[in-house]
């Protein structure tokens, strides 16, 4: 029976996909075949020898030691697009909350408690301090046009904003989804120079860390409004504080608040609610569970961060999967293990992704233990499974 360890609370929409009798899941599972996790950091967690996969029920994988997993032959999955609508809707709310100073205005209105019949008069007198611009007709820059960025760009365009998108690694699939009328920004500077509102939807990588910093903010329009529902580390908090003080930035909405920002005027700290909708939680959990079920039961890899997508219909009595380094001469050594054992290969598929590769071999003979041992002895082979 396959063992799935849940880390964080995972929606039942995902967990109920693990058929009883075939899978066991829970947060106390020992010797797990797989982890299913949301935002908990696994960087300090020991990865047991039994672990074959980690499914991140969400998009960002900066909480997972991906390189270490690759070295140990652990397949890391995420759930692309499964929570994109949740984040898009929060971003649209954030655009308006920030622009119209709604949160400060609500907090001020509450201070009028106790003023009795004077409240309506005080409201009308005081409201002018919260006047803020409409978003229609204003320019929005979207940095990162993936699952979320494309939805944000299209929705803002539909609300009458003039939208500029920047993504040097735009996928063909994402490109198909971008509404006509979204401007292509060839560089970040186009976004900085043109836009009244700038939102970032990229993964946290060495390249993207600190994108909103003193230098980039200085290149932006005075009074720009910034939105970061992606990861806190994409901005430098001290630089944001300075820019808010000087008025260079009018407001900063962040879904990953840190202590330094909590009491700064102009900051709207949201407690990581981007994907906190029943729909997003269900979608992510279901997709993550399906990815683990496919890997554990058939060896198929779908939506992996560190391994190629590989699938092959199962048409033979036995299957072996081999995780190996993407170096010369691996395939001939793998097939030689079968030839030396006198076992015919019915079907074989091999794909690579950067330094890693994955091979699925279907064979007519079920007695594959000796072949598996021979495969494990090949230099460059990381993990062998007989399914
Ligand atoms: N607040 C939340 O709850 C929440 C929820 C989901 C995702 N996120 C964050 O949002 C990020 C984006 O999510 P997604 O689902 O759109 O991911 P995605 O992988 O679909 O899209 C990311 C896009 O960023 C682009 N990109 C990468 N590096 C870039 C760079 N240097 N400059 C410009 N573009 C770059 C990629 O080409 C890709 O199109 C996630 O990595 C995660 O950190 C937050
Ligand atoms: O699980 C969550 O609530 C947030 C997930 C989000 O940060 C993501 O990267 O998908």
- Whose CA is closest to atom 1 on ligand 2? 38
In the block, which residue shows the tokens 């050594």? 333
Cα(297)–Cα(380) distance, integer angstroms: 24
Cβ(174) – ligand 1 distance below 6 Å: yes
**Per-residue pLDDT at 69:** 98
Query: Which ligand 2 atom lies nearest to the CA of residue 79?
Result: 10
- Whose CA is closest to atom 10 on ligand 1? 230
Q: Separation of 323 CA from ligand 1 center, angstroms?
A: 27
Kindly report the pTM of this predicted structure: 0.96
The tens digit of pLDDT for each residue in 359-372 reads: 999 998 888 999 99
Q: Separation of 202 CA from ligand 1 center, angstroms?
A: 3
The H or E element containing residue 154 is helix 147-158
**Per-residue pLDDT at 244:** 98
Cβ(167) – ligand 1 distance below 6 Å: yes
- Whose CA is closest to atom 6 on ligand 1? 59
Contact 230, 39 (CB under 8 A): no
ipTM > 0.90 for the complex: yes
Enumerate residues 6+ apart whose C-beta is below 8 A from 383: 52, 72, 73, 322, 323
Low-confidence residues of the chain: pLDDT under 70? none
Question: Could you give all domains of the chain from N- to C-terminal order, each with its CATH number?
Answer: 1-83+277-306 (3.40.50.720), 84-269 (3.40.50.720), 308-387 (3.30.70.260)
- Of 129, 134, 132, the residue nearest 108 (C-alpha): 129
Which residues make beta-bridge pairs with 150? none
């Amino acid at each position: 029976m396959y063992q799935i360890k849940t880390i964080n609370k995972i929606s039942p929409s995902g967990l109920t996909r693990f058929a009883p009798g075939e899978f066991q899941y829970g947060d106390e599972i020992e010797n797990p075949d797989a982890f299913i996790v949301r935002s908990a950091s696994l960087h300090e967690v020991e990865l047991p020898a039994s672990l074959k996969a980690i499914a991140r029920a969400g998009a960002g994988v900066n909480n997972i030691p991906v390189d270490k997993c690759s070295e140990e032959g652990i397949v890391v999955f995420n759930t692309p697009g499964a929570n994109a609508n949740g984040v898009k809707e929060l971003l649209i709310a954030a655009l308006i909350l920030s622009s119209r100073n709604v949160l400060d205005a609500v907090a001020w209105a509450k201070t009028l408690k106790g003023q009795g019949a004077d409240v309506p008069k005080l409201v009308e007198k005081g409201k002018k301090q919260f006047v803020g611009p409409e978003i229609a007709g204003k320019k929005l820059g979207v940095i990162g046009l993936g699952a979320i960025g494309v939805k944000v760009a299209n929705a803002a365009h539909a609300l009458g904003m003039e939208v500029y998108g920047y993504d040097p690694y735009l996928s063909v699939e994402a490109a198909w989804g971008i509404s006509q009328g979204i401007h292509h920004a060839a560089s970040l500077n186009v976004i900085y120079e043109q836009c009244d509102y700038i939102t970032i939807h990229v993964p946290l990588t060495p390249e993207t860390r600190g994108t909103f910093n003193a230098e980039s903010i200085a290149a932006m329009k005075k009074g720009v409004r910034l939105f970061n529902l992606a990861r806190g580390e994409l901005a430098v908090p001290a630089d944001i504080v300075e820019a808010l003080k000087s008025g260079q930035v009018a407001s900063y909405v962040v879904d990953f608040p840190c202590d330094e920002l909590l009491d700064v005027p102009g900051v709207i700290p949201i407690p990581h609610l981007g994907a906190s909708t029943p729909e997003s939680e269900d979608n992510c959990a279901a997709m993550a569970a399906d990815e683990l079920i496919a890997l554990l039961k058939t060896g198929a890899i779908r939506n992996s961060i560190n391994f190629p997508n590989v699938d092959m219909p199962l048409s033979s009595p036995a299957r072996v999967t081999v995780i190996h380094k993407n170096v010369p001469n691996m395939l001939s050594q793998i097939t030689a293990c079968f030839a030396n054992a006198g076992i015919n290969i019915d079907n074989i598929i091999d794909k690579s992704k950067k330094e890693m590769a994955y091979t699925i071999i279907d064979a007519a003979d079920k007695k594959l233990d000796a072949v598996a041992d021979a495969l494990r002895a090949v230099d460059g082979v990381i993990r062998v499974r007989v399914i």
